[in-house]
Structure 1
């Protein structure tokens, strides 16, 4: 894990867990050794973080009073809370954890009354469990490839249970309650394809960048979606940047 990500996770953990938090608990939550944890605590303190406590007693994060508090309306707080609570219906575990950490970071900087509103029992999302299939591949790697514009080698099992191998140029993710989908340009078919992430058998980076081609691919895809009489909601969003629906990969 990158040093910046590690320090951010430590800050998130200090905000999220009831204080004081022991060094052992912090090390377990952040996935580092105790020795590394002590170094990270020292790094954060040197950078200006107000962290009280010491080894053997536990640590407590004190938000810097010099920073202006964030302020949201009660309706905005409710929208944030419900959005994060609803994410398990459409997201993968890494995305869900990231959203919860982000919310904890926001709540930690709210004035006391608004922080209490964010944890109020009235702000909960309840829904029956779904039979949504979860992906079995590393979604973090796939998301990174979308951002970094790196090609991916897939082993894919289609809806008719046929297995194929192909290199793709991943353009973006589509999240829904039924499936997690990956929009990509398939070099094997020389066309756009939508891959069901739960049907990806394996995925690995090829080491090839498609950065010079991303903009033209998205432009072509948006053009196709515009020609449809009734584009789907995802395709409408693509008019601004990317995304979509398309033919299931085959």
Structure 2
């Protein structure tokens, strides 16, 4: 998570907390080290954000400090509720946590729409501890236009090691696929995340040609997105 977003999250957590929040709890929630939290708290205080407390005791936000409310009409709220709930189908653990944070922010200022329900079944949850590749890593590689070294198991050709230029992540109902330019095959290929054995993000980037490659892939595949945020 970028630092700006993390500072915003710290404010949100402290704003809704009923008691001082320890640095270790903030670190666990935001998946960073305690040292990073200490630096973030110091940065917020330097920006005159009224964060009070100290290491070992906990932090809280002085009453009266708030952020601008979110304003949505009824159908916009319902669209957000359904859209965030459908992220549970992606199997992307990091996006699911982000969706939960967004939901909490919306509930702080708007009534929830619990009567709209979305079935959670879909792609299996990514769990790097069980040996599978993190979808968050794949999204980062696409976002930063960084090459990937991928070990992949194909039912047709077996196990192979490939260097990819990742272009897009496609969430289907029952699986997630990475679209990429495969240097081994010299063309566009799609890789199911549940068949990835390992993936490492390389230092090599391909930002100058990323846009052109993505456009060419979309034209070749005939993608016509009904909604592209």
Q: TM-score, normalised by structure 1?
A: 0.73
CA contact (8 A) 1:20 1:60 kept: no
Whole-Å Cα distance in 1 between the matches of residues 100 and 163 of structure 2?
A: 33
Given the superposition, is the C-alpha separation of residues 106 and 128 from structure 1 closer, same or farther in structure 2, using an over 3 Å criterion?
A: closer
How far residue 87 of structure 1 moved from its aligned partner, in angstroms, is 1.1
How far residue 50 of structure 1 moved from its aligned partner, in angstroms, is 3.7
Residue 100 of structure 1 aligns to a residue whose secondary structure is: helix
What is aligned with 1:122?
115
What is aligned with 2:129?
none
CA contact (8 A) 1:12 1:104 kept: no
Larger Rg computed on CA atoms: 1
Q: Which runs of 5+ in 2 are unaligned?
A: 127-131
Residue 78 of structure 1 aligns to a residue whose secondary structure is: helix
What is aligned with 1:133?
124
CA contact (8 A) 2:151 2:160 kept: yes
Given the superposition, is the C-alpha separation of residues 206 and 95 from structure 1 closer, same or farther in structure 2, using an over 3 Å criterion?
A: same
CA contact (8 A) 1:52 1:60 kept: yes
Whole-Å Cα distance in 1 between the matches of residues 40 and 87 of structure 2?
A: 30
Whole-Å Cα distance in 2 between the matches of residues 236 and 144 of structure 1?
A: 24
Greater mean alpha carbon deviation, residues 162-171 or residues 24-33: 24-33
How far residue 45 of structure 1 moved from its aligned partner, in angstroms, is 3.1
Provide, for residues 54-106 of structure 1, a one-character-per-residue CA deviation record: whole Å limited to 9, x for no partner: 664762465745x6533111221122122212211124000111122233334
Alignment root-mean-square deviation, CA = 3.2
Residue 236 of structure 1 aligns to a residue whose secondary structure is: coil
What is aligned with 2:224?
236
Residue 217 of structure 2 aligns to a residue whose secondary structure is: helix
The partner residue of 1:194 within 190, 202, 213 is: 190
Q: TM-score, normalised by structure 2?
A: 0.79
Residue 237 of structure 1 aligns to a residue whose secondary structure is: coil
